[in-house]
């Protein structure tokens, strides 16, 4: 069952990242003039993310059903949540990758916007994990 709870956390993380990216791209789309070819690229990228969100939310429902059943059967702690922090090294690796993708993407492109959004989210997650670890060490 640990695999389901771990996958549930990962699925939740990905959904939040996609929601952030979707918000950034929608904001960018609102500011893009109707005749700009980037508008079509933005709309296509938004559609891709929306499809990923739908698939991810379906998978998350399946996982929550499995985790709920396991909790009812006593296989996992009933009061546990998926909020547990990921390792700082895993967060840092994701943050670095998002920064790398952003630096290689074309300025103003949907890919860069999405990567920058992901990097910001990982930076915030890293800060929270670092502060939590520092608090536990005291």
Residue 41, pLDDT score: 93
Instruction: Over range 15-22, report the average pLDDT.
Output: 89
**Sequence-ordered list of residues with C-beta below 8 angstroms from that of 112, at least 6 positions apart, any chain:** 102, 105, 106
- Asked if residue 117 has pLDDT above 80, the reply is yes
Mean pLDDT of 66-77: 87
Please give the share of the chain, as a percent, with pLDDT higher than 70.
92
* pLDDT score for 76: 78
The reported pLDDT for the residue numbered 58 is 97
Q: How far apart are CA 30 and CA 110, in angstroms?
A: 13
What residue spans define the domains of the chain?
1-84, 85-138
Is the model's pLDDT at 134 over the cut of 90?
no
pTM, full prediction: 0.69
Given a cut of 70, whether residue 2 has pLDDT beyond it is: no
Kindly give, in sequence order, each residue whose CB lies less than 8 Å from that of residue 100, ignoring residues fewer than 6 positions away.
none
CB proximity list for 111: less than 8 A, separation 6 or greater: 45, 101, 105
The Cα-based distances of 26 to 16, 40, 45, 117 in angstroms read 15, 12, 10, 12
């Amino acid at each position: 069952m640990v695999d389901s709870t771990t996958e549930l956390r990962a699925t939740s993380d990905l959904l939040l990242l996609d929601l952030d990216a979707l918000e950034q791209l929608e904001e960018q789309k609102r500011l893009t003039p109707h005749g700009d070819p980037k508008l079509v690229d933005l709309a296509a990228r938004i559609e891709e993310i929306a499809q990923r969100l739908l698939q991810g939310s379906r998978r998350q429902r399946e996982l929550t059903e499995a985790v709920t059943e396991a909790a009812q059967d006593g296989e996992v702690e009933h009061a546990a949540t998926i909020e547990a922090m990921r390792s700082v090294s895993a967060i840092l690796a994701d943050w670095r990758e998002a920064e790398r993708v952003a630096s290689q993407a074309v300025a103003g492109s949907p890919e860069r916007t999405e990567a920058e959004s992901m990097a910001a989210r990982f930076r915030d997650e890293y800060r929270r994990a670092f502060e939590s670890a520092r608090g536990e060490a005291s």
